[in-house]
Structure 1
Amino acid sequence: MPSYTVTVATGSQWFAGTDDYIYLSLLGSAGCSEKHLLDKPFYNDFERGAVDSYDVTVDEELGEIQLVKIEKRKYWLHDDWYLKYITLKTPHGDYIEFPCYRWLTGDGEVLLRDGRAKLARDDQIHILKQHRRKELETRQKQYRWMEWNPGFPLSIDAKCHKDLPRDIQFDSEKGVDFVLNYSKAMENLFINRFMHMFQSSWNDFADFEKIFVKISNTISERVMNHWQEDLMFGYQFLNGCNPVLIRRCTELPEKLPVTTEMVECSLERQLSLEQEVQQGNIFIVDFELLDGIDANKTDPCTLQFLAAPICLLYKNLANKIVPIAIQLNQIPGDENPIFLPSDAKCDWLLAKIWVRSSDFHVHQTITHLLRTHLVSEVFGIAMYRQLPAVHPIFKLLVAHVRFTIAINTKAREQLICECGLFDKANATGGGGHVQMVQRAMKDLTYASLCFPEAIKARGMESKEDIPYYFYRDDGLLVWEAIRMFTAEVVGIYYESDQVVEEDLELQDFLNDVYVYGMRGRKSSGFPKSVKSREQLSEYLTVVIFTASAQHAAVNFGQYDWCSWIPNAPPTMRAPPPTAKGVVTIEQIVDTLPDRGRSCWHLGAVWALSQFQENEPSSGAFLREADWRRRHLPSQGPLVRQQRVNMGSCSWACTQKSILSRSL
């Protein structure tokens, strides 16, 4: 009688093993086996991390094995089980692997296909077509869309982490508990001792060093020592936490009535300001998004304030970017002066601090939350709803959105919810961050997620004109590597543009993103469908780059750049100055966050910048294809050192490697 050797691999995460009964059935082209209990006498099967083998004898030849059915039945109490994969050795000596990588809960069962990626057109057998259809029907019931706030991209229908489908929950919820992480950060940074003085001010800038006692890298030290310098201020718009706002100024805006006479001491080429603009030496960062956003009022004992600055920058003869003019609100007037480097030191310093605070708010809520986390969640939900596990695009994308939905759900539960941790330290807490996302949705376009197009749209593409923009330089390398890889994958499974167009599962995935994620906005530019292999490759590059490289670029450097409080104040306790010559150092310190909010802020940026213990190194899937050796030469610092985001196995563009060449 034919005999099969079945190898069963149990996951290594906590509580992955089970004591329940496990049954196996083989479904082949020539027949189906009986249900076999997988059990070895006097042996504890299916322990955490175990790989168990069994001999399964059948009465007659089953033909080509199409499906493996696994059933879990209660032994004493229901005991969840995480099954990684099953390997089958046939009577003919062939090995077939059936990946699972999911939880079996209760009296559960699962039908597994072999690991080969297949388009729907490749499945001609009824049982496989049926399996494909039922999987999507089940997933669409589990992964439902929900509107968390009006105007937001839709998210997963789950009030809390435990409501999520078991397969996308974190292995240990403690690892992403923001309250616990904040507490751990406070403990690790030795800052709990300041919390009893929550609303008291610091005495001077040096006083901030009292909570800045556990520095783990040289970047944060350098920020602390040089944050007041114009060179450091300008450099952060290129390679800091938020290197996505600076753009080349092609015309001076009417709302910023700056003249050559005002800034001539900063201009080094003996040209007028208008001539410098024409030569491409003037850059601008406009925080118009913050204009009219409600400041945090959750604590009636502490007033908090926001501004909407406009900052003009200049490329000097050393090709470094430095600020030359700052207006702290959008409407010019006598009570909204333009601050200049030639002003009194305290005036200029406070103006720069206001810009840095505004940059922090846009970074956290728009660049980080909206444009990486929420967008990647949209891709993830649509993927689970419309692409079966056997689909090649599912296999390509699933690693890149791993845990994205879970971390976002946890954030909505604890961090950015009403009265959440975000409200404790941030001036945009209490609802301001919601208003910001609602406004920023109009600028969330497909083109803006295409890295090369986004760089070009801001006029920042020229390496000769802007030589120290490492975010751009490394990002373009990573983008191109991912694009070439996705093009090869697409070429394997789609032999023509027609096959792309006829893949209804793929088109449903794209339509879900457009209709639910982008709320059906034509202005978003997101395609409802793709008609060519080239378009598909670009789309996949957007998904992977956003969920990995872009997130890492704006996330993992937060402690580096934001841990020195005066360089990234999360709130300001006095309104922007309305006149020059009246600001003192004491007023600046009193404007900065109090001791308690400084502690909360420091704990937050420390926790957000940490890598997960089980986080894989970047480029793992490309290394397997020998991609790095063939396409990324050793001089690329980003690829050598980067890590990943949100559980992704993809590239990352963290600031640590970018800055290793330049600070």
Structure 2
Amino acid sequence: METYQVTVYHSKETNSCTLNNIYIKLRGEKGTSEQNWLSGNECYVGTVYLLLTCIVQIICKCCLDPFLKISPEDNWFPKKIEVKAPNGKIYIFPMYTWITDFQIHCFREGQGLSLTVNEDCTPLGKKKRSEELEQRKEAYRWKESERGLPDHVEARDPSQLPLDAQFTLRKYLGFGGVAVLDYIWTWFETFSEHYVKNNWRDDDFFGYQFLNGLNPMLIKCIKALPDNFHVTDGMISQYCKGNLDDEIKKGNIFLCDYKLLDGVETQEIHKTKQYLAAPLVLLYKTPKDKLVPIAIQLQQKPAADNPIFLPSDSQYDWLLAKIYVRSAEFNLHQLNFHLLRTHLLAEVFAVSLLRNLPMVHPLYKLLIPHTRYTLNVNVLARNYLISPNGFAASGGDGMYQILKRSLSSLTYTSLCIHDDIKERGMENIPNFYYRDDGCRLWDILHSPYQNFMTTFCSPQYDFGGWMPNLPSTMQCPPPTEKGKATEETIMAALPNKYTTCKAIETLFLLTQQYSDFVKLGDYPEEHFTEEKPRELIKKFQEDLRKLSEKIKERNKILPVPYEYLDPENVPNSVTI
């Protein structure tokens, strides 16, 4: 009798093994083995013809506790099964899924060609594909989102997600058990102490952050001033020695417009009314290639009580205006560019993938690593961040206002970095490291061997850990006249200690690299077992390594190294 050697590979995650009895059958086009018990890691099964359409059937049966006489919950997470045929050929069955019941589970052989629905033409293959998708559609149900936001997975709590979508125990412990204060004080002694804390007041650093800081997605080069921003030549003479129109024609004038925040309803925090500006910021590229602010209007509608603040104003008037801009930056970035464009949109793709593509499909194999933890972290975000009791000015209803406006203004091209850079006229401005690194990374991702969405390591905590540089809210309304600001009025306007602590703690948690971090290009789960995809993955990883080397070499000469799009720092999925 011909026999087939079966080897089971288990995950190293805590609680991934099982005490239950596991049985296996091998099914091919021309036969099916008997049901065999998996004793330890290996077993032998009887005669069966293993072809490219071979299927492994896994059957779990409960193991009664000999003392308690009950069947304990004992889930199992196998990585893969290898089957060695009598002729020596090895067939690999990728699994990477939790088995939580006592039903029959079928897994397809992975070394044959990845099969699309048209290529999977055997009756057995079509049947198993259909059954798999029906089970997934039941497990991952759509829920129509409240208040016009993108639809999402139906789960009120992470525990209601399938185990495959939940944090591992190691992730939960890392996410919730970090010693936040210890890390915060360590950070104060490094990045903040040496740069942000010492430079946050400077116009150079204020302008630099629009290119390489928290949110490089808003700034654009303009061809004309907005109709609601009445800046004159005389106002900007301190920086621009020539005519404003001439500087615009030269491509030296840039705008950041926070119109999405106009009229947003703000909340109370500890019974104190909070405030949010909707600024227009005009910036100038100097002959020395520095980007500096030259005019700030804190509200959208021109009026006598809405002055245009200038660098020539008193130091406190100008500083206070910049602080209101930075607070607007916090709110717009967190809700539009971070929550909506990164988390909520990634969830739409993740749920669609899980509901529509079986494990054998090449797109499933390609995309599934880039959905890791996304559903779990998004459920947490909906429960704790999009809530009435937040730490930002735009909490409660204001959050939904910003999210809805941001969604309605979202375009496909704004998600494609080359198109977005061109539409904003940002192709030629120097020292724009987000553009340089991002476009190179995009080109690698969209080569013939890769095509997927990912996110990058956010600099939120680096720039927001020093609160005056990025206050989450303001406790006083924006100034309506010049000459009134003092150090005392600035301190009164900044958020209180409680709000500051909550904001910094959240930024810290959102930007840490946890122990189970998987960088872009690493694939701990081997879904592709064919030779050609493996070669392409190696080429992809090599391209990422070369890009990382170039970024590190450039950063050696920068006063503030730009490390956020170094592939070694980019996560493989939206995980925090």
TM-score normalized with structure 2 length = 0.90
Q: Which of the numbers 616, 621, 626 marks the counterpart of 2:539?
A: 626
Partners of 1:20 and 1:647 in 2: CA distance: 32
Q: Which of the numbers 610, 624, 635 marks the counterpart of 2:550?
A: 635
Classify the secondary structure of the residue corresponding to 1:408: helix
- Give matches, 1:295-314, under 5 Å: 295-297=266-268, 299-300=270-271, 302-314=272-284
Partners of 1:643 and 1:73 in 2: CA distance: 43
The corresponding residue for 2:487 is 585
1:115/1:220 CA distance change after superposition, 3 Å: farther
Classify the secondary structure of the residue corresponding to 2:43: strand
The corresponding residue for 1:109 is 104
Shift in Å at residue 630 of structure 1? 5.6
1:383/1:128 CA distance change after superposition, 3 Å: same
- Give matches, 1:223-622, under 5 Å: 223-267=196-240, 270-297=241-268, 299-300=270-271, 302-419=272-389, 423=390, 425-462=391-428, 466-484=429-447, 487-488=448-449, 540=451, 543-544=452-453, 547-549=454-456, 552=457, 555=458, 557-620=459-522
Partners of 2:207 and 2:194 in 1: CA distance: 18
Classify the secondary structure of the residue corresponding to 1:314: strand
1:16/1:121 CA distance change after superposition, 3 Å: same
Is residue 185–residue 604 contact of structure 1 (8 Å, CA) maintained in 2?
Answer: no
Amino acid at match of 2:463: W
Shift in Å at residue 70 of structure 1? 0.4
Partners of 2:280 and 2:5 in 1: CA distance: 69
Is residue 343–residue 574 contact of structure 2 (8 Å, CA) maintained in 1?
Answer: no
Shift in Å at residue 187 of structure 1? 5.7
Q: Do structure 1's residue 165 and structure 2's residue 162 form an aligned pair?
A: yes
Shift in Å at residue 548 of structure 1? 2.7
CA distances 1:51-97 after superposition (whole Å, capped 9, x unpaired): x22223x1x44342610000111112231001111000011111000
Shift in Å at residue 430 of structure 1? 2.1
Shift in Å at residue 275 of structure 1? 1.2
Shift in Å at residue 217 of structure 1? 3.8
1:298/1:225 CA distance change after superposition, 3 Å: closer
Shift in Å at residue 386 of structure 1? 0.9
CA distances 1:493-532 after superposition (whole Å, capped 9, x unpaired): xxxxxxxxxxxxxxxxxxxxxxxxxxxxxxxxxxxxxxxx
Shift in Å at residue 620 of structure 1? 2.5
Shift in Å at residue 356 of structure 1? 0.6
Amino acid at match of 1:20: N
Shift in Å at residue 628 of structure 1? 4.7
Is residue 22–residue 60 contact of structure 2 (8 Å, CA) maintained in 1?
Answer: yes
Shift in Å at residue 409 of structure 1? 0.9
The corresponding residue for 1:82 is 77
1:330/1:272 CA distance change after superposition, 3 Å: same
Shift in Å at residue 255 of structure 1? 0.6
* Structure 2 alignment gaps of length 5 or more: 65-70, 524-534, 553-562
Q: Do structure 1's residue 95 and structure 2's residue 10 form an aligned pair?
A: no
Larger mean Cα displacement after TM superposition, 283-292 or 440-449: 440-449
Amino acid at match of 1:559: Y
Shift in Å at residue 29 of structure 1? 1.7
- Give matches, 1:123-162, under 5 Å: 123-162=120-159
Is residue 168–residue 403 contact of structure 1 (8 Å, CA) maintained in 2?
Answer: yes
Shift in Å at residue 151 of structure 1? 1.3
Amino acid at match of 2:242: L
The corresponding residue for 1:71 is 59
Amino acid at match of 2:60: K
Partners of 1:136 and 1:236 in 2: CA distance: 46
Partners of 1:167 and 1:385 in 2: CA distance: 14
Is residue 176–residue 410 contact of structure 1 (8 Å, CA) maintained in 2?
Answer: no
Q: Which of the numbers 22, 35, 55 marks the counterpart of 2:44?
A: 55
Partners of 1:63 and 1:372 in 2: CA distance: 43
CA distances 1:437-469 after superposition (whole Å, capped 9, x unpaired): 01111122211111100111111012xxx1100
Partners of 1:338 and 1:263 in 2: CA distance: 11
Partners of 1:630 and 1:287 in 2: CA distance: 37
Amino acid at match of 1:560: D
Larger mean Cα displacement after TM superposition, 621-630 or 2-11: 621-630
Moved over 6 A (4+): none
Partners of 1:612 and 1:133 in 2: CA distance: 37
1:572/1:344 CA distance change after superposition, 3 Å: same
Partners of 1:160 and 1:115 in 2: CA distance: 34
Larger mean Cα displacement after TM superposition, 470-479 or 123-132: 123-132
Partners of 2:566 and 2:406 in 1: CA distance: 34
Shift in Å at residue 612 of structure 1? 2.1
Larger mean Cα displacement after TM superposition, 604-613 or 621-630: 621-630
The corresponding residue for 1:28 is 28
Amino acid at match of 1:368: H
1:356/1:220 CA distance change after superposition, 3 Å: farther
Is residue 518–residue 571 contact of structure 2 (8 Å, CA) maintained in 1?
Answer: no
Partners of 2:326 and 2:206 in 1: CA distance: 8
* Structure 1 alignment gaps of length 5 or more: 40-44, 46-51, 190-211, 490-539, 653-663
Classify the secondary structure of the residue corresponding to 2:80: strand
Partners of 1:408 and 1:647 in 2: CA distance: 12
Shift in Å at residue 415 of structure 1? 2.7
1:434/1:630 CA distance change after superposition, 3 Å: closer
1:611/1:335 CA distance change after superposition, 3 Å: same
Shift in Å at residue 214 of structure 1? 4.2
Partners of 1:220 and 1:388 in 2: CA distance: 51
Is residue 26–residue 48 contact of structure 2 (8 Å, CA) maintained in 1?
Answer: no
Partners of 2:306 and 2:312 in 1: CA distance: 17
1:258/1:265 CA distance change after superposition, 3 Å: same
Partners of 1:482 and 1:224 in 2: CA distance: 36
Is residue 220–residue 426 contact of structure 2 (8 Å, CA) maintained in 1?
Answer: yes
The corresponding residue for 1:10 is 10
Partners of 1:126 and 1:285 in 2: CA distance: 58
Partners of 1:62 and 1:642 in 2: CA distance: 44
Partners of 1:249 and 1:569 in 2: CA distance: 28
Partners of 1:627 and 1:36 in 2: CA distance: 40
The corresponding residue for 2:67 is none
Partners of 2:20 and 2:541 in 1: CA distance: 44
- Paired positions, count: 542
Partners of 2:507 and 2:536 in 1: CA distance: 31
Shift in Å at residue 565 of structure 1? 0.5
Partners of 2:190 and 2:318 in 1: CA distance: 29
Amino acid at match of 2:434: Y
Partners of 1:69 and 1:573 in 2: CA distance: 62
Larger mean Cα displacement after TM superposition, 28-37 or 236-245: 28-37
Larger mean Cα displacement after TM superposition, 629-638 or 437-446: 629-638
Higher helix share: 1
TM-score normalized with structure 1 length = 0.78
Shift in Å at residue 289 of structure 1? 0.5
The corresponding residue for 1:119 is 116
